[in-house]
Copies of this chain bind each other. A is one copy, B any other.
Amino acid sequence: MTYQGSTKEEKLNIIDLPRLRDAVKRDTEAGAFGYVDGGSSDEQVLRDNEQAFRHYQLIPRMLQDIAAPDLSTTLFDIPLTMPVIAAPIAAHGLMHQDGEQVTVKGVGAAGSIFSLSTYGNSRIADVASAAPDTPKFFQLYMSRDDDFNQYLLDEAVNNGYKAIILTADATLGGYREADIINNFTFPLPMENLAAFSNAAGSGEGLGIADIYARAKQDLSLRDIKKVKEMAHGLPVIVKGIQDPDDALAAIAAGADGIWVSNHGGRELNGAPASIDTLAAIAKAVNRRVPVIFDSGIRRGEDVAKALALGADVVALGRPMLWGLNQGGAAGVQSVYEHLATELKIVMQLTGAHTVAELQRAKIINAKF
Contact = CB atoms under 8 A, between A and B. Distances in A.
A168 to B, nearest CB: 4
A349 B169 contact: yes
A14 to B, nearest CB: 10
Nearest to A219: B63
Interface in A308-346: 341-342, 345-346
Interface in A4-53: 15-16, 18, 40-42, 44, 53
Contacts of A62: 168-169, 219, 238, 240-243, 246, 250
A33 to B, nearest CB: 18
Contact of A268 (B40, B60, B65): B60
B349 A65 contact: no
Interface residues of A, number: 74
Contacts of A272: 57, 59, 364, 366
A148 interface: no
Given A63-B246, A218-B65, A174 B58 contact: no
Given A62-B169, A169-B349, A171-B348, A270 B299 contact: yes
A367 to B, nearest CB: 8
Contacts of A342: 41, 175
A304 interface: yes
A249 interface: yes
Contacts of A171: 66, 348-349
Q: How many copies does the complex hold?
A: 4
Interface string A181-206: 10000000000000000000000000
Contacts of A219: 62-63, 65
A61 to B, nearest CB: 6
Interface in A284-319: 299-302, 304-305
A244 to B, nearest CB: 10
Given A66-B217, A218-B66, A220-B65, A268 B168 contact: no
15 contacts: A41-B299, A42-B299, A54-B270, A58-B268, A59-B242, A59-B243, A59-B271, A59-B277, A60-B242, A60-B262, A63-B221, A171-B349, A174-B345, A270-B304, A272-B364
Given A62-B240, A68-B217, 12 more contacts: A15-B181, A16-B41, A59-B242, A60-B169, A60-B242, A60-B271, A61-B242, A61-B246, A62-B169, A65-B221, A268-B350, A272-B364
Interface of A: 15-16, 18, 40-42, 44, 53-54, 56-68, 168-169, 171-175, 177, 180-181, 217-221, 223-224, 238, 240-243, 246, 249-250, 253, 262, 267-272, 276-277, 299-302, 304-305, 341-342, 345-346, 348-350, 362, 364, 366, 368
